Amino acid sequence: MYSKDKLAYEPVPLPDRFDLSDPEMLHAVQAFYDHMRRRHSVRDFSDRPVPEQVIATAVRAAGTAPSGANHQPWHFVAIADPQMKAQIRAAAEEEEQRFYAGGAGDEWLKALEPIGTGVDKPHLTVAPWLIVIFAQRYGVTDAGDRYKHYYVPESVGIATGMLITALHQAGLCCLTHTPNPMKFLNGLCARPDAEKPVMILAVGHPAETATVPAVAKIKKPPEQILTVYRPDEAP
């Protein structure tokens, strides 16, 4: 965390250490993969309540993410208030009307056809929680001085991935939503101009009738997402 009063490097012993054998490592990572491959993005949510403590703890997990210069350039706003959720849905659907009316372009709309998306966004009001993720473009000291944040998109992206993982660990589903423009969220959520809203996560339990697009189950095989150079095999 940035502080003008604490700019010197001060190493401390590694507070947590894991010493697994090779078989234990493989077992652990395989178990994690098996768990994560059961994660699904859904658009059909139940209105079953989710305790605030679950959401808060998932956000705390996201807050442990690495970040440029450890500036932690993110802020999460968790919304359960029905009126706020309705305002977000109305604004998002207004933008989606323009998007699907041609603003997106034919190629983009064609790419979305197998996903089955459309103008209506009922998940924004049915899901018990919306989490709005803000990226802090710069920081402000207690004295009101600005200071630069580094690798903001990368840092916020990592934290968001960890948040989605934490929510899945809690047995919840979520759906990423990126209406554009989203500037209205600053005013609605009382966030400063230094912060840019980058994503909304609808969070909750899946409805009994929830479905996922068949295409969403098609993942690239390992050979398409991984390249390995072993010793003496550099190109």
Query: According to the 3-state scheme, what is the secondary structure of 170-228?
Result: CCCEEEEECCCCCCHHHHHCCCCCCEEEEEEEEEECECCCCCCCHHHHCCCCHHHHCCC
Name the DSSP class of 4. Answer: T
Q: Which domain holds residue 92?
A: 42-209
* pTM summary value: 0.94
Residue 94 in domain: yes
Write out pLDDT tens, residues 104-120.
788 988 888 888 888 89
Give every strand in the sheet of 129-136, ordered side by side: 74-79, 129-136, 195-204, 173-177
Write out pLDDT tens, residues 47-80.
999 999 999 999 999 999 999 999 999 999 999 9
Residue 234 in domain: no
Least confident of 46-55, 163-172, 193-202, 225-234: 225-234
Residue 83 in domain: yes
**What pLDDT does residue 9 have?**
87
Q: Which two tokens stand for residue 115?
A: 């996903």
Residue 129 in domain: yes
* Stretch (H or E) spanning 133: strand 129-136
For residue 136, give the nearest of 94, 180, 195 by alpha carbon: 195
Q: What span, in angstroms and rounded, lies between the C-alpha atoms of 65 and 151?
A: 13
Q: What span, in angstroms and rounded, lies between the C-alpha atoms of 199 and 84?
A: 16
Residue 112 in domain: yes
pLDDT at residue 200 tops 90? yes
Q: What span, in angstroms and rounded, lies between the C-alpha atoms of 40 and 206?
A: 10
Residue 229 in domain: no
Check which CATH number belongs to the domain holding 99 and give it: 3.40.109.10
Q: What span, in angstroms and rounded, lies between the C-alpha atoms of 219 and 55?
A: 28
Q: What's the number of domains the chain is made of?
A: 1
